[in-house]
Amino acid sequence: MKRTIVLVISLLLIASLAMAGCSKGEDKPAAEDTGKTGEASEGTKEAGKDAPEAGAEPEVIKLRAFQSSFGEDPSNTGLYKAWLEKMEAHIGKKLDIEWTYVHSDDYPEKLKLQLASGDVPDILSGTKDAEIMFQFGNQGALLDIAPYIDEYAPNYKKFLESTQYAEKTLQTPEGKMFFFGDGFQNDTGMVDSAYGSLYRFDIFKKHNIKVPESWEEFYDAAVKLKELYPDVYPVNAQEWPPFHETFYYTNHTKGDIYWNGEKFVYGPTEEAFKEGIMYVHRMYKEKLLDPEFLTQSQDQLKQKVTTGKSFMIPFAWLGWWEQYSIPEQGIEWGAAILPKNEKYGEPWMQGAALPGLTAYPNYGTMISAKTKYPEIMVQLLDYQYSPEMIDLMTWGIEGMNYEVKDGKRVRIMDPSEEVKNAKLEWYGEGVTRQGFVFAPQNHAPDVSGYKDMPFYGKGQYESLNPFVGTGKFHSGKSAIPTWDLAPVIRLSKEDEAKKAQVMTAVKTYLDENLSKFILGERNFDEWSAFQDELTKIGDYQSIVDSMNELAIK
Amino acid sequence: MKTYNEGLGSRMFDVFNYALMVALCVIMLYPLLNTFSISLSDPDLIAQGKISWYPQGFTIDGYSFIFQSNDLLRAYKNTLIYVLVGTVLQLLLTSLFSYPLSMGNFVLRKPLTIFVIITMVFGGGLIPTYMLIRNLHLLDTLWVIVLPGALSAFNIIIFRTFFQEIPKELRESAYLDGANDMKILFRIYMPLSKALLATFALFGAVGFWNMWFEAMIYLNDMRLHPIQMLLRRMIVELKDMNDHGGLQRYVEMHNVNPKNIKMATVIVTILPILFVYPFVQRHFVTGMLVGSVKG
Amino acid sequence: MNGNVVSKNSFWRRCIKQRYLIMMVLPGFVLMLVFKYFPMYGILIAFKDFNAMDGILRSPWAGLKHFQAFFDSPMSWRIIKNTLLLGLYSLIFGFPAPIVFALLLNELRITLFKRAVQTITYFPHFLSTVIIVGFVHEFASMDGIINHVMGWFGVDPVPLLNFSANFRSLFIGSSIWQELGWGAIIYLAAITGADSALYEAAVIDGANRWQRIRYVTWPAIVPATTVMLIMKLGSILSTDFQKVLLMYNPNIYETADVIETYVYRLGIMGTQYEYSSAVGLMLSLIAFVLITSGNYISKKVSENSLW
């Protein structure tokens, strides 16, 4: 008995070895060959199937889509059916799409594997790191869509035309385009953001302290709160964005190479940067800032802000307010825009929603270089950038997903049974994207998804949608950080690696010393010495120079 | 019971030893109990850090959320298959491979040992492995989960070391009785190595139970996903919503708290495997070898 | 077996004689050949300029460029040092802990209690790194248990993870906490191999507790311990980088930044497989040297060795 089992297993293994042996032969020239054989066999299959209409364009377009997913499988929903209908009508052919969904956390790893092993499906979601798309594109794995734009992509072209520095950002220096940039549409007429400062409004009201509008007022409020509650550290900070990054927006600087509107500069050498670090140090030294702000986890922070151990968070995603507030206990968190630094003018916005149409260089959608129908693939993806498709994919269907109130569209937050049964509800509540991920995002329904929160501005407490609030108290376009409108410089693979090596060393040394300055382990007298040390760690200036050279070209 | 000579020092040692063990138990029990308590507690109390040893403001929302999923049973079933097939295969192949290695006079002993050690240190990386698996047409099959990891250098070396401790005389007398090596392995060595087999059955089972990376890389078909992948998916979903601001809406609509769900997930994934150990322990009995030699 | 001079002829004769043993090894051999050895051509990536379309074998050679790149970094010596020290301390403190624990556990005489302790101590192994690190943050915070205990000795509470001096002890301590019970299982299995007749004889001879451990239990686990130690040597450099990533912050880079976290921050893993392969290959080579020398030393001082 046992011997037979062993025998069977050995046989199996020998068989698998034989298989490996066979495939070894075709595997030796690695990716290229296997890719070709795959394509060839697919081709023959296809040819056999469509034999009757040989020569003519096949009626059914078969394609594989490799997609990043953010929740449940969207390919079974009512919205998907509506999407497919429109798509098929648009190209005048039937679509047979084989969807592969991979969860967003696992997606980058699997995408790289697909690309690196030469097995590239027709349409692929991109990742946050556009570098991957450029490099695999340059290696020949992805379709260069640039030649198709004029003829087959009129909708996407509009996005390109209204995006600043689109050529530098979305193309290689040779003018090749390897992906459809992540589209963003903002027709709200406002420039707004979901980031700002959070304060315990109930405490501020109780002691009649003014909600800070400048860094001086921020300091004064903290001091007053410390007097009132000596055991408390009034100021705390999120893990992200960290305290000192608040000053990137209020002092108009950055802890890295950034575009200042005219050219690239290295932020940490600027006085504005040092000022920010000194401010954080002062708060820490005077025990106004929680000493654990560098090491605590989100859970620990939440515990502190819900139990009256901290009253001010200079920089946060405003959506936290609801989790931080406990109405039964009278704990009320509310928002304001970032404190102002008079010297530098209006604070900028983190994650500002640019007005109009924008194509972002990250999270694009790619087409395989080996696809059999490049024109159709371009058409399909382009159609997602059309106004009616954006509407369908972001607002949904009127009466089901949204309704019109006072001439404005409003999301139906609690869908009816009918909608649920038709599987028309938005999976993951607007997080899951329909169609080929990443199709353009529309800002208005996103805004409509946030509820009103306590908001302070211009001397008044109000109840506002966080986007509406930030939009209202900022003055539009001038609050957009310069780096959000910067040309993104594309370097060669080699130069990109060199840049990463120099800048990672520099950043490591910078981050490590910033916390030493903040915690008082290093004295600010040593700041200029520190600048010299930084130069010795890595030649960031040469990187800045080469970027400027490419930007101006 | 055996009689021990009971000196004062020995008693002191006992007191110290028992106290130490109790203390260890307390600190080792805390993380699991804490996780368990959080999975059953009121979200506001969790947020304020008030939950430590036992649940407060009892709720089972986290669990009902997880058990809503239709895929849960299928994922459990998949995991069970992977664990059973994988573990049996692992024990069988490792025993077969290690038995000859444990014999001092085996002609390939040294080269094969080095052959094995090299796999412990060097590997080709993900890309060629993925291409190999793809070319063998093993993607989206059970085999990709159980075969590549069936033999590990660590297991082989430990098995070999344990087999070496079994007296040579047993084998030699079996030869004289006309037994062949296969028979000796299955009839003498394996029964004598119950503690070892139990230990590695546990290691193997836990390994396959916890495995998710291979599933993530090689299984595109979600119907084949093990429980770890399913729950990972749920957590990723929650995290994504958190990042994108959709979480509050979701929490309100479904009336659940992410922390409850997260911790319930942990409990649901580890509880079944925790109960394997007591069964394994029964085989940790000293003196089995002696009995068999005498008998 | 006898005869020190083994001629070629007798090698083959022995092979034929032991064909049954060779057949037993065959399935495992084939499996490892296919799944472990065949993909090893991937190591070549470290010496190439990898291009996905050309595949690994056809991509152009790049020499030692990628290795050079690693050593060009001003941080490379620090991260090597940190990796080595973290691995070394983990070995010094983390390796003996489960052995001592298994020996102590073996001295418990109430079987039910013994089993309960075994079962409970193996629980933490099953919690994920994220959860364990969550507890580390909790315990190391200003009002956490560690500061609380330090308070008894008049030490002011500080955020422990803010100081580079604390990182290694917190990292290794929490690892021991998580893996103590799990790690002991294999030694408990080895102890079952101890001859109970010897044990009884020792009792009759009036051996005390310590002597019984020293002369009966300990010899039973020495072979497994030696082999485990040699293999552990090989994994000195493979730190649990997920855990470091979750535990560290810029202020403690000085001790906490290890090779893998640094390469992770480099952020070029996305496209630069060559660089990470080069780093990986270097680590493998060092591990191989460590195992080989560990084996050599062990062979000299005891009869236990891997080969």
pLDDT top residue among B23 and B258: B23
Give yes or no for residue A303 having a pLDDT over 80: yes
Pairing of strands A179-186, A356-367: antiparallel
The residue-averaged pLDDT of C70-83 equals 92
pLDDT over 80 (residue A40): no
Q: Inform me whether the pLDDT recorded for B3 exceeds 60.
A: no
B93 touches chain A (CB under 8 A): yes
pLDDT interval class at B5 (50, 70, 90):
low
| Cβ within 8 Å, pair C58-A116 | no
Q: Is C47 a residue whose pLDDT tops 70?
A: yes
Residue B54 DSSP SS3: coil
pLDDT in tens, B79-119: 999 999 999 999 999 999 999 999 988 989 999 999 999 99
For B34-69, the pLDDT digits (tens) are 999 999 988 888 878 888 899 988 888 888 878 877
Q: Check residues A272 and A413 and name the one with the higher pLDDT.
A: A272
Residue A256, classed as helix, strand or coil, is: coil
* Chains in contact with A, counting 3 or more C-beta pairs less than 8 Å apart as contact: B, C
B253: phi then psi, degrees, rounded to nearest 5: -65, -45
A63: part of which helix (H) or strand (E)? strand A60-69
Question: From CA C224, how far away is CA C304, in angstroms rounded?
Answer: 9
Query: How far, in Å, CA of A364 to CA of A142, rounded?
Result: 12
Distance CA A51, CA A41 (A): 15
Contacts of A214 (CB under 8 A, 6+ apart): A339, A340, A341, A342
Domains of chain A: residue spans and CATH:
40-183+356-405 (3.40.190.10), 195-350+451-551 (3.40.190.10)
Strand partners, A24: none
- Of A65, A70, A68, A82, nearest to A423 by C-alpha is A82
Q: Which long-range contacts (CB under 8 A, 24 or more apart) does A265-268 make?
A: A265/A544, A266/A540, A266/A541, A266/A544, A268/A510, A268/A531, A268/A534
End-to-end CA distance of chain A: 77
Mean pLDDT of A316-341: 93
Mean pLDDT of chain A: 86
Please tell me what DSSP assigns to residue A331.
Answer: B
Given a cut of 80, whether residue A340 has pLDDT beyond it is yes
Q: Do B47 and A303 touch (CB under 8 A)?
A: yes
Which residues touch B209 (CB under 8 Å, ≥6 apart)?
A: B79, B83, B228, B272, B273
Tell me the CA distances in angstroms from A210 to A183, A213, A317, B52, B292, one per residue in order: 40, 8, 22, 38, 85
Residue C251 near chain A (CB below 8 Å): yes
Q: Do A101 and B239 touch (CB under 8 A)?
A: no
Q: Which helix H or strand E contains A454, and what residues bound it?
A: strand A453-457
HSE value, Cβ hemisphere, 13 Å, CA-based, for B183: 11
pLDDT band of residue A41 (cuts 50, 70, 90) is very low
**B151·C28 Cβ contact <8 A:** yes
| Neighbour count for residue C46 (Cβ, 10 Å) | 23
Contact criterion met (CB below 8 Å) for A305 and A324: yes
Touching check for C34 and chain A: CB below 8 Å? yes
Query: Which of B30, B58, B37, B48 minimizes the C-alpha distance to B264?
Result: B37
Nearest to A428 among B96, B232, B241 (CB): B241
Q: Report residue A26's pLDDT band, with 50, 70 and 90 as the boundaries.
A: very low
Indicate if the pLDDT at residue A395 is higher than 60. Answer: yes
Q: Please state which of the ranges A72-86, A435-449, B205-219 shows the lowest mean pLDDT.
A: A72-86
Residue of A337, A134, A373 lying closest to A217 (CA atoms): A337
Q: Residues of B with CB below 8 A from C141's CB? A: none
Whether residue A30 and residue C53 make contact (CB cut-off 8 A), yes or no, is no
B261 three-class SS? helix
In chain A, pLDDT over 70 holds for what percent of residues?
85
pLDDT, position A198: 97
Q: Is the pLDDT of residue A469 over 90?
A: yes
Extract long-range pairs of C141-150: CB within 8 Å, 24+ residues apart.
Answer: C141/A292, C141/A295, C141/A296, C141/A300, C142/A291, C142/A292
Give the mean pLDDT of A98-125. Answer: 89
CA separation for the pair A407, C236 (Å, rounded): 67
User: Where are the alpha helices (H) located in chain C, listed in sequence order?
Assistant: 8-17, 19-32, 55-58, 65-72, 76-89, 96-106, 111-122, 129-140, 145-152, 164-191, 196-204, 209-212, 218-234, 241-247, 253-256, 259-266, 273-301
Show Cβ contacts of residue A462 under 8 Å, excluding neighbours closer than 6 positions.
A454, A455, A456, A469
For residue B250, the chain A residues in CB contact (below 8 A) are 428-429
Whether residue A105 and residue B239 make contact (CB cut-off 8 A), yes or no, is yes
Find, among A359, A400, A194, A361, the residue nearest to B247 by Cα.
Answer: A194
Give per-residue pLDDT as tens, A138-155. Answer: 999 999 999 999 999 999
pLDDT band at A433; cut points 50, 70, 90: low
| Rounded CA separation A275/A280 (Å) | 9
Element (H, E) at A441: strand A441-442
Quick check: B47 and A100 CB within 8 A?
no
**In whole angstroms, what is the distance from residue A509 CA to residue B124 CA?**
33
Tell whether the model's pLDDT for residue C130 goes beyond 80.
yes
Alpha carbon distances (Å) from A172 to A178, A493, C3? 9, 12, 71
Residue A344 predicted with pLDDT over 90: yes
* Mean pLDDT value across residues A110-129: 90
User: Measured between alpha carbons, how far is C252 from A117 in angstroms, rounded to an integer?
Assistant: 38
Q: How far is C191 from C147, CA to CA, in rounded Å?
A: 38
| Chain B residue at shortest CA distance from C207 | B5
Q: Measured between CA atoms, how close is B197 to chain C, in angstroms? A: 9
Distance between CA atoms of residues A37 and A31, nearest Å: 10
Phi/psi of residue A443, nearest 5 degrees: -70, -35
Give percent above pLDDT 90 in chain C: 54
- Give the position of tokens 């992509």: A153
Contacts of A449 in chain B (CB under 8 A): 245-246, 249
Q: What pLDDT band is residue A334 in, cutting at 50, 70 and 90?
A: very high
Task: For residue B128, say if its preceding peptide bond is cis, omega within 30 degrees of 0.
Answer: no
User: Which of the two residues, A399 and A293, has the higher pLDDT score?
Assistant: A293
Distance, in Å, from the CA atom of A158 to the CA atom of A391, rounded to the nearest integer, reads 16
CA distance C306 to chain B (A): 7
Q: Is B113 on the interface with C (CB under 8 A)?
A: yes
Residues C50-70 have a mean pLDDT of 90
What integer is the mean pLDDT of A279-294?
96
User: Is A527 within 8 Å of chain B by CB?
Assistant: no
Q: Is A294 close to C30, i.e. CB distance below 8 A?
A: no
pLDDT at position A223, please? 97
- C27: nearest CB among A9, A112, A294: A9
Taking CB atoms within 8 Å and a gap of at least 24, the contacts of B216-221 are B216/A106, B216/A109, B216/A110, B217/A109, B217/A110, B217/A113, B217/B126, B217/B130, B218/B130, B218/B133, B218/B138, B218/B139, B218/B140, B218/B144, B218/B145, B219/B139, B219/B140, B219/B144, B219/B145, B220/A100, B220/A102, B220/B139, B220/B140, B221/B140
> Is residue C20 packed enough to be buried (19+ CB in 10 Å), middle (13-18) or exposed (0-12)?
exposed
E strands in A238-308: 257-259, 264-266
- Among C55, C57, C141, select the one facing A118 at the smallest CB separation: C55
Strand-strand pairing, A123-125 and A60-69: parallel
Percent of chain A residues topping a pLDDT of 90: 62
β-partners of residue A289 are A235
**Lowest-pLDDT choice from A313-317, A409-413, B263-267:** A409-413
- Give B2's pLDDT tier (boundaries 50, 70, 90): very low
Residue showing tokens 């030869």? B175
CA angle A209, A214, A220 (to 5 degrees): 45
User: Taking Cα atoms as reference points, which of A435, A447, A327 lies closest to residue A381?
Assistant: A435
| CB neighbour list of residue A159: distance below 8 Å, 6 or more residues apart | A181, A183, A357, A358, A359, A385, A440
A445: nearest Cα among A79, A7, A50, A16 = A79
Q: What CA–CA distance (Å, rounded) separates A272 from C6?
A: 79
The band of C229, judged by pLDDT with boundaries at 50, 70 and 90, is: very high
The answer on pLDDT for B75 being more than 60 is yes
pLDDT digits (tens, 9 = 90+) for C245-259: 999 999 999 999 999
What's the rounded mean pLDDT across residues A160-173?
A: 92
> What digits encode the pLDDT tens for the residues A259-274?
999 999 999 999 999 9
The predicted structure's pLDDT at residue B133: 95
pLDDT recorded at residue B60: 86
Nearest to B114 among C116, C188, C307 (CB): C307
By mean pLDDT, which of A210-219, A328-337, A483-492 is the weakest? A483-492
Which of A485, A438, A468 has the alpha carbon at shortest distance from A124?
A438
CA–CA separation, A125 and A379 (whole Å): 16
Stronger pLDDT, C275 or A51, i.e. the higher one = C275
pLDDT reported for residue A386: 96
Q: Are C198 and C212 in contact (CB under 8 A)?
A: no
pLDDT at residue A419 tops 70: no
Q: Is the pLDDT of residue A1 over 50?
A: no
* C277: number of Cβ within 10 Å: 23
Residues 6+ apart with CB under 8 A from A387: none
Distance between CA atoms of residues B141 and C32, nearest Å = 19
For residue A244, what pLDDT is reported?
96
Residue type, B10: S
**Residue B24 touches partner A, C-beta closer than 8 Å:** no
Give me the long-range contacts of A469-473 (CB less than 8 A, separation at least 24): A469/A196, A469/A318, A469/A335, A469/A337, A470/A192, A470/A193, A470/A194, A470/A195, A470/A196, A470/A318, A470/A337, A470/A349, A471/A188, A471/A190, A471/A191, A471/A192, A473/A336, A473/A337
Q: Name A75's Cβ contacts closer than 8 Å, sequence gap at least 6.
A: A99, A101
> Which residues of chain C make contact with A515, given a CB cutoff of 8 A?
249-251
Whether residue C25 and residue B278 make contact (CB cut-off 8 A), yes or no, is: no
CA geometry: angle B9, B15, B20, nearest 5 deg: 125
| pLDDT over 50 (residue A98) | yes
Confidence of residue C2 (pLDDT cuts 50, 70, 90): very low
